[in-house]
A and B are shown apart, each in its own frame.
Chain A
């Protein structure tokens, strides 16, 4: 676990990229996450997370098609690597175990 170092926000971005499949490029990931988190995100935060995870080997990327509304600039489509998938699965398992360890939370009293 220690080697992987996947931050909370990075994990969300990584999951979004995995979910979006072929549509996983910068703006789309931002839109999707904004919709789910119900908050505004900056391009800078998404991009820096993507670049960091690419350096760590959770993601690979390649240029996609260019469109008119992008001013003729190509998209960069991100794909989750096998390593990335493994880490995500590992995180999920660790979380699930922890949830199981605290059964009383089911009866959590709000007031």
Chain B
């Protein structure tokens, strides 16, 4: 047993005990604890005894034993508060500029936090409006692809009805299939997406109707519209009872009665609908459609159970369905298991479920984390500004503090006063920041991102969040200055022997921190801008600028359109294809010795490569005569690399039990966007009667002229069918716009950060110089020139700037690199140029800020400076 001298209870726990325990009980209880500790230490391990000691101390925190926090008690009176309020308002009015810096900085940071809140709320509220979100599940299946099991959001067509029949626990089932149709009402003709569903759709999911009844979906001749569709075709009128003509394809069409219009969809939704038709209409639209074929997949199959616990039992009983599917499906498409995904969390997983009905994205959750970090950094920046200025300003209030203390104010009372003043400032900042956030930042963010986050003032959680921000900000920014200011002795203050503020090392540390943060923000902004420029000019690997494409309603359209367009002089080349680059692809499975390998497949005409400007690296492309190349393929370089083929030309690949010979290898190209990884791709030859796309290449510079001609020819050929097609440049949708948005957001953030740092630095330097007016005046009288004064002012800041840069440059570089790698699959090569540029901007701004103050000193009349006070 150790002697009691070398065994000590944990110091911190003891200190904590002394902090909270009532004075009169302390000796007894401290002794008790010591005695017990020695006993425990004697019995068992020393560490265990220490742990026990701490635990016991925590359990001693009982109301009857706790110290009353008496220090602050006596000052809690209305008169005192009135006085504090007056002092703080007068203080603000007296130094309007520094008050403005404090208010503005805090308001901007809080405004940003409001945006973060709105975005997080939107993200986490995704699809949560569905009343049955815990009971509704999406049927998904797992299948092996490229050696790993992947989840698919589609399900075999007969699965829904079979489940309903076989499992008593399932209350409702709803199948969903999506198709594109042409909708005509009077002179309005548009291409639309239509959802064929079972009537349960509107019961399982919470999409209330504005007009009409959900039951109407059971009617085979009824159609339900979204609000947007209703406005598009009928304006603000109630269209219930009106007739819409739906053309399924060239030959088949049917007239439907509008039976319902959905109310405005909630903003936080990851899927909705444009038009709803009864599932049975799928037979009208597509007579060949077989709803009993296990080899046909539907866009989605949803089930609703009474208790979420039932799903496990259902999941265990799926073996028969797996068998039913695998018996008819090709071996490469075999299902290994079924899984049911709850609606409540579907949007979050949607990224990893292929072909999922929900458009949700994990990226949003990542963005929330990202924004939270940015929000905290902004708030830190603003608080640091506040702290620095508060400490320096307090120099001028030493007398006041001295008088208050000598009148009997305890240190606690002075702290309370400063916290109160800070609370007033923060409250004003909160109001300004809230207005700024809710009415400027959020609408701006929504506009550039084309979405609505449904930010509402009536949100109860918001009214918890706002006071929380107020409290955190007020304490974070006010606690240190108030503790620092209040600690000086009265006598020293009144004698004038206390001089502080200028020499406080912490002020310098804070300034360095601010500069580091600014460095990070500016680097981020520069990197994102550079990356946007880089990606905007990056080639897609083919001639996307001169290419146009047209969707064809049927194969016959190709011949007609080609005949008309080949006479247009600006058209260089025309070709047809079944799938089109950037507009979709089929999927094929290549058999390799080790595992099945999934590739994108496009079936194209012989001239497609020339028209699209795809570059041949080796071999040849298809010959003009279709029959010759029926068993050959052209592949991209990535596929050759992925399969590690040496001398690929002439080798054969097995796809669906047929051998195909590789005749050509293409240089790599990006078919989707720089967000998605390039995929191994094969091209097969397509016959004319399969064409669904017409693509053409124009002479450079004549794209828009040719596009107009194409549209005009289309209108002549098909006056009843809307034109569908466009510039190849546009097939990535709003990809470039989105890139631009990222850069804009970053620039805005960097600009704010720079502004905050500038204001903080400006305020600090201004106060510093104001305190040294006499010194500078004397220097000037004694003949100091510009160099001397500038040297004097700059010296203390330049050193700080150098330290900040020494720390900030590596930090900015690493963080910028991380963010870029995190946000983009393909990005610019990262080098130090962005950091160098950012640092240059930062130094320039700091020097400009400092030089304004130096100029002021140089211009000032020394006599005035000496006369002051």
B64–A26 touching, CB < 8 Å = no
Segment among A4-12, A69-77, A83-91, A97-105 that sits at the interface with chain B: A69-77
Question: Is A48 interfacial (CB 8 A cutoff)?
Answer: yes
Contact with A along B32-55 (1 / 0, CB 8 A): 111110100000000000000000
Per a CB cutoff under 8 Å, which of B25, B36, B38, B61 touches A51? B25
Provide the bound-state CA to CA distance between A63 and B35, in Å.
16
Bound-state CA distance A37–B31 (Å) is: 24
Residue A107 CB within 8 A of the other chain: no
B35 touches A43 (CB 8 A): no
> What is the predominant secondary structure among interface residues of chain A facing chain B?
helix
**Residue contact B31 to A75, C-beta cutoff 8 Å:** yes
Question: What is the predominant secondary structure among interface residues of chain B facing chain A?
Answer: helix
Q: How far is the CB of A40 from chain B (nearest CB, A)?
A: 10
Within the complex, which residue of A51, A52, A55, A70 is in contact with B35, where a contact is CB–CB below 8 Å?
Answer: A70
Contact of B32 with A27 in the complex, beta carbons under 8 Å: yes
Cβ of B830 under 8 Å from chain A: no
Beta-carbon contact of B4 and A52 below 8 Å: no
Asked if A76 and B28 sit within 8 Å, CB to CB, the answer is yes
Residue B730 lies at the interface, judged by CB distance under 8 Å to chain A: no
How distant is A30 from chain B, measured CB to nearest CB, in Å?
8
On whether the beta carbons of B65 and A47 are closer than 8 Å, the reply is yes
B30 at the interface (CB under 8 A from A): yes
- Shortest Cβ gap from B31 to chain A (Å): 3
Can you name the residue of chain B whose Cβ is closest to the Cβ of A77?
B28
The answer to whether B31 touches A71, judged by C-beta atoms less than 8 angstroms apart, is: yes
Give a binary string over A15-46; 1 marks a CB under 8 Å from any B CB, 0 the rest: 00000000001110010000000000011110
When the two chains form their complex, are residues B31 and A74 in contact, meaning their CB atoms are under 8 A apart? yes
Complex CA gap A45/B518 in Å reads: 53
| A48 nearest CB across to chain B (Å) | 4
* Beta-carbon contact of A71 and B30 below 8 Å: yes
A1 to B597, CA, bound (A): 85
Q: Cα distance A45–B60 when bound, in Å? A: 8
In the complex, how many angstroms separate the beta carbon of B1 from the nearest chain A beta carbon? 12
Q: Does B59 contact A (CB under 8 A)?
A: yes
Q: Which of A26, A45, A55 has the most CB of B within 10 A?
A: A26
Interface pair B30/A73, CB less than 8 Å apart? yes
A93 at interface, CB cutoff 8 A: no
Nearest A residue to B9 via CB reads A71
Q: Is there an interface contact between B28 and A74, defined as CB atoms closer than 8 Å?
A: yes
Enumerate B58-96 residues with CB–CB distance to A below 8 Å: 59-62, 64-65
Determine how close the nearest CB of chain A comes to the CB of B376; give it in whole angstroms: 37
Interface residue B656 (Cβ < 8 Å from any Cβ of A): no
A47 and B56 contact, Cβ closer than 8 Å, known pairs A68-B4, A71-B34: no
- Whether B400 sits at the interface, judged by CB under 8 Å, is no
In the docked arrangement, what's the CA distance between A27 and B62, Å?
18
A94 at the interface (CB under 8 A from B): no
Give the distance to chain B from A33, nearest Cβ to Cβ, in Å.
Answer: 14
User: Which one of A42, A47, A55, A68 contacts B25 once the chains associate, using CB atoms below 8 Å?
Assistant: A47
Q: Is A66 an interface residue (CB 8 A)?
A: yes
Please pick, from B29, B38, B64, the residue contacting A43 in the complex, using a CB distance under 8 A.
B29
Q: From residue B355, how far is it (CB to closest CB) to chain A in Å?
A: 58
By the criterion CB–CB under 8 Å, are B65 and A26 in contact? no
Given contacts A26-B29, A74-B28, whether A43 and B34 have CB atoms under 8 Å apart is no
CA separation between A43 and B60, bound complex, in Å? 7
Residue B27, interface by CB 8 Å: yes
Name the distance in Å between B24's Cβ and chain A's nearest Cβ. Answer: 10
Cβ-defined partner of B32 (8 Å) among A26, A45, A63: A26
Which residues from B are CB-within-8-Å of A26?
28-29, 32
* A47-B31 contact in complex given A27-B36, A69-B4, C-beta closer than 8 Å: no
Q: How far is the CB of B9 from chain A (nearest CB, A)?
A: 9
Across-interface contacts of B35 in A (CB, < 8 A): 27, 67, 69-70
Residues of chain A within 8 A (CB-CB) of B28 are: 25-26, 63, 73-76
CB distance from B266 to the nearest CB of A (A): 50
A30 to B32, CA, bound (A): 10
Nearest opposing residue in chain A for B58, CB measure: A44
Specify which chain B residues have a CB less than 8 angstroms from the CB of A70 in the assembled complex.
31-32, 34-35
CB distance from A76 to the nearest CB of B (A): 4
Report yes or no: B64 in contact with A73, Cβ–Cβ below 8 A.
no
- CB pair B60–A44 under 8 Å, yes or no, is yes
The CA of A48 and the CA of B32, in the complex, are separated in Å by 14
* Contact between chains at A51 and B65 (CB < 8 Å): yes
Complex alpha-carbon distance, A91 and B65, angstroms = 27
Q: Are A66 and B31 in contact (CB under 8 A)?
A: yes
Partner among B27, B29, B38 whose Cβ is within 8 Å of the Cβ of A47: B29
User: Given the complex of chains A and B, what is the CA–CA distance between A51 and B28 in angstroms?
Assistant: 12
Given contacts A68-B4, A69-B4, contact A43 B32 (CB under 8 A): yes
Report the Cα distance A76→B32, complex, angstroms.
9
List chain A residues, Cβ under 8 A from B64: 48, 51-52, 55
Contact B31 A43 (CB under 8 A): no
Which A residues are in CB contact (< 8 Å) with B56? 42-44
Give the distance to chain A from B23, nearest Cβ to Cβ, in Å.
13
Residues of chain B with a CB closer than 8 A to A67's CB: 35
Closest to B14 in A: A71
Chain B residues within an 8 Å CB radius of A71: 30-31, 34
Chain A residues contacting B34 (CB-CB under 8 Å) are 69-71, 73
Name B776-832 residues within 8 Å CB distance of A: none
Q: Looking at the complex, which one of B31, B36, B60, B61 makes contact with A73 (CB distance below 8 Å)?
A: B31
Taking CB atoms, residues of chain B closer than 8 Å to A69 are 4, 34-35, 38
A70 to B35, CA, bound (A): 5
Interface centre among A30, A44, A48 (most CB of B within 10 A): A44
- By the criterion CB–CB under 8 Å, are A43 and B36 in contact? yes
Would you call B33 and A43 a contact (CB within 8 A)?
yes
Cα–Cα, bound, A30→B56 (Å): 13
Asked if A47 and B4 sit within 8 Å, CB to CB, the answer is no
Q: Which residues from chain A contact B59 at a C-beta distance below 8 Å?
A: 42-45
- Distance between Cα atoms of A69 and B5 in the complex (Å): 9
21 pairs, CB–CB < 8 Å, chain A vs chain B = A43-B56, A43-B59, A43-B60, A44-B56, A44-B62, A45-B59, A47-B62, A47-B65, A48-B65, A51-B25, A51-B65, A55-B64, A63-B28, A70-B35, A71-B31, A73-B27, A73-B30, A73-B34, A74-B27, A74-B28, A74-B31
* Contacts A43-B59, A70-B34 supplied; 12 other A-B pairs, CB < 8 Å: A25-B28, A44-B56, A44-B65, A51-B65, A52-B64, A67-B35, A69-B4, A69-B38, A73-B27, A73-B28, A73-B34, A76-B28
Which A-B residue pairs are the 8 nearest by beta carbons? Answer: A73-B31, A70-B31, A71-B34, A76-B28, A44-B59, A26-B32, A44-B60, A48-B62
